[in-house]
């Protein structure tokens, strides 16, 4: 029996709330940077077998750009910040950067800007996670990635869970307002150990049978 | 057309006009095996190089156990154990070679090649390594492997091996 059999609605809701706080803070920091209103939706928590992962995407082969930020300290896993190609270009323009023609051929400045965006969002996510759980957590340097969405998410799941059969995705969509259509995802993929620690910390401990 | 999508760590064998598909191969390796004479083919989505000999709920994940499973499955529907041909794709390093990933892609490729060699299966073509993910479609009747990869100009490139 794995811990995933113990994850009931209440525990899923707890993770959802955690994602909400994290993404809320991430949206606030990006909103402050851009001086624009940023909306987030209620996060979605998915507990799915790795082999069914491709099914959750509308278009698994859609090309997205973003950054993976590892989580270190008391928790591990990774946070992904992903955006559609057009969204990330508009966002870079809002940051007064030149609009990249081709995201698959990133120059050093654009690459570093995308990494920094990921860094800002994910660090605020991590800080609020740390406040929420009272644990000592920090974020690691970003890895910029441009590829098919299903491949990115499964690759990160693979790296963080080291081949577990199930993964938990805490996913939030965000949208920059002001008539500019900029939207993206923030996805936290914790490993099994981290999930146990989170539940223990917030009083929903899963006891070993 | 009879398309079958194979998830991570899964495998399938089929015959005739079936097309086996797997999406989002990052460091994973898609192994396609075909018995040309009997028109039987199989595919496995290998995630990790070695099962370490342990019992596992999902043996299809590993190069060593996964390959044996797909060969068994092919035999069940009438494939011979001789004159098999293989095509492999995947094993990319999507996030570069950070220490956390320990270059799983390269290890997967090596493990798959070793296993194929042990079973006397010849690799007739391959598209491995690099830093881009792949999606693959394997036609059992023609033996063609279509590969989709993100290329220049943010477009998804399509090519055959």
pLDDT at B138: 93
Q: Record the tokens describing residue A108, joined without a space.
A: 């050093």
Q: Is A121 helix (H, G, I), strand (E, B) or coil?
A: helix
Q: What is the pLDDT of residue B43?
A: 94
pLDDT of residue B112: 92
Q: What's the pLDDT score for residue B113?
A: 92
From the list B13, B75, B42, the residue with the least C-alpha distance to B145 is: B42
Instruction: Say if the Cβ atoms of A148 and B135 lie within 8 Å.
Output: yes
CB contact under 8 A, A61 and B26: no
pTM confidence score: 0.87
pLDDT higher than threshold 60 for residue B49: yes
**Å from B22 to nearest chain A CA?**
9
**Residue B102: per-residue pLDDT:** 63
The dihedral sign for the CA sequence B161, B24, A87, A124: negative
Q: Give the per-residue pLDDT at B101.
A: 53
pLDDT of res. B20:
92
pLDDT reading at B66 higher than 60: yes
**DSSP E strand stretches across A56-136:** 63-73, 77-84
Cα–Cα dist B70/B124, whole Å? 18
Per-residue pLDDT, A1: 52
Which residues from A are below 8 Å from B101, CB to CB? 159
pLDDT at position B45: 92
Cα separation of A30 and A36, whole Å?
8
Phi, psi of A74 (to 5 degrees): -70, -25
* Mean per-residue pLDDT, B130-155: 86
Check residue B1 and give its pLDDT: 66
Contact B26 A155 (CB under 8 A): yes
Say how many C-beta atoms besides its own lie within 10 A of residue A58's C-beta.
6
Nearest to A187 by CA among A168, A165, A166, A171: A171
> With an 8 Å Cβ cutoff, are B27 and A152 in contact?
no
Catalytic annotation, pick one of B28, B29, B43, B104: B28
Check residue B94 and report its DSSP letter.
Answer: B
pLDDT classification of B98: cutoffs 50, 70, 90: low
Q: How confident is the model at residue B33 (pLDDT cuts 50, 70, 90)?
A: very high
Active-site residue flag, B28: yes
Question: Cα dist. A31→A22, A25, B96, B109, B142 in Å?
Answer: 14, 10, 31, 44, 53
pLDDT of residue B136: 93
Positions in chain A whose pLDDT score sits under 50: none
Q: Which residues of B touch A (CB under 8 A)?
A: 5, 7-10, 23-28, 47-48, 57-58, 61, 94-96, 98, 100-101, 104, 132-135, 148, 150-154, 156
SS3 for A132?
A: helix
The answer to whether A150 contacts chain B (CB < 8 Å) is yes
Structure-block tokens of residue B79 = 């494939």
**How near does any CA of chain A get to the CA of B27, in Å?**
7
Match 């004159």 to its residue by tokens: B83
Do residues A192 and A161 make contact, with C-beta atoms less than 8 angstroms apart? yes
A147 CB neighbours in chain B (<8 A) are 26, 94, 132-133, 150
Res. B99: pLDDT tops 70: no
Nearest CA in chain A to B96: A143
Please identify which residue in the block is written with the tokens 């936290």. Answer: A188
B23 and A147 within 8 Å at the Cβ level: the answer is no
Spatial distance between the Cα atoms of A15 and A46, rounded to a whole number of angstroms = 10
Query: Does this complex have an ipTM over 0.90?
Result: no
B87 token code pair: 């095509």
Helix axes B104-118, B63-76, angle to 10 degrees: 40
Residue of B nearest to A154 (CA): B24
**Of A110, A120, A168, nearest in space to A141 by CA:** A120
**Structure-model confidence comparison of residues B23 and B100, the more confident one:** B23
Given a cut of 80, is residue B117 above it in pLDDT?
Answer: yes
For B17, other C-beta atoms within 10 Å of its C-beta total 12
Taking the C-alpha atoms of residue B20 and residue B126, their distance in angstroms, rounded to an integer, is 17
Structure tokens at B27: 């460091």
Q: Give me the residue from B47, B61, B94 closest to A147, CB to CB.
A: B94
Tell me the chain A residues in contact with residue B27 when contact means C-beta distances shorter than 8 Å. Answer: 155, 158
Contact B133 A51 (CB under 8 A): no
Return the SS3 of A156: helix
User: What pLDDT is attached to residue B22?
Assistant: 92
Could you tell me how many CB contacts below 8 A there are between chain A and chain B? 100
Structure confidence at residue A179 (pLDDT): 60
A61/B148 touch (CB, cutoff 8 Å), yes or no: yes
- pLDDT of A106: 80
């Amino acid at each position: 029996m794995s811990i995933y059999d113990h994850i009931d609605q209440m525990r899923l809701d707890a993770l959802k709330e955690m994602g909400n706080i994290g993404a809320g803070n991430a949206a606030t920091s990006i909103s402050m940077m851009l001086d624009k209103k940023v909306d987030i939706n209620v996060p979605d928590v998915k507990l799915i077998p790795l082999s069914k992962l491709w099914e959750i995407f509308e278009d698994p082969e859609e090309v997205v750009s973003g950054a993976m930020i590892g989580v270190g300290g008391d928790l591990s896993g990774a946070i992904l910040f992903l955006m559609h190609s057009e969204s990330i270009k508009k966002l870079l323009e809002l940051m007064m950067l030149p609009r990249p023609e081709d995201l698959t051929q990133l120059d050093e400045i654009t690459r570093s800007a995308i990494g920094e965006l990921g860094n800002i969002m994910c660090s605020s996510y991590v800080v609020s996670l740390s406040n929420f759980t009272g644990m000592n957590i920090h974020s690691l340097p970003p890895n910029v990635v441009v590829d098919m969405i299903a491949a990115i998410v499964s690759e990160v799941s693979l790296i963080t869970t080291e081949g577990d059969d199930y993964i938990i995705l805490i996913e939030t969509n965000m949208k920059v307002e002001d008539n500019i259509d900029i939207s993206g995802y923030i996805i936290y993929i914790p490993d099994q150990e981290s999930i146990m620690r989170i539940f223990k910390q917030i009083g929903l401990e899963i006891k070993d049978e | 057309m009879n398309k079958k999508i194979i998830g991570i760590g899964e495998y399938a064998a089929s015959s005739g006009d079936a097309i086996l598909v797997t999406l989002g191969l990052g460091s994973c390796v898609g192994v396609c095996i075909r018995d040309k004479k009997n028109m039987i083919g199989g595919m496995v989505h290998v995630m990790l190089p070695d099962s370490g000999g342990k019992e596992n709920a999902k043996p299809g994940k590993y190069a060593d156990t996964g390959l044996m499973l797909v060969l068994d499955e092919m035999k069940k529907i009438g494939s011979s154990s001789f004159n098999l041909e293989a095509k492999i794709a995947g094993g990319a390093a999507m996030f570069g070679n950070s220490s956390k990933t320990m270059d799983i892609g390269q290890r997967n490729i090596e493990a798959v090649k070793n296993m194929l060699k042990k079973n006397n299966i010849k690799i007739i073509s391959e598209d491995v390594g690099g830093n881009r993910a792949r999606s693959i479609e394997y036609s059992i009747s023609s033996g063609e492997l279509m590969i989709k990869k993100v290329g220049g100009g943010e477009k998804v490139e399509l090519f055959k091996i």
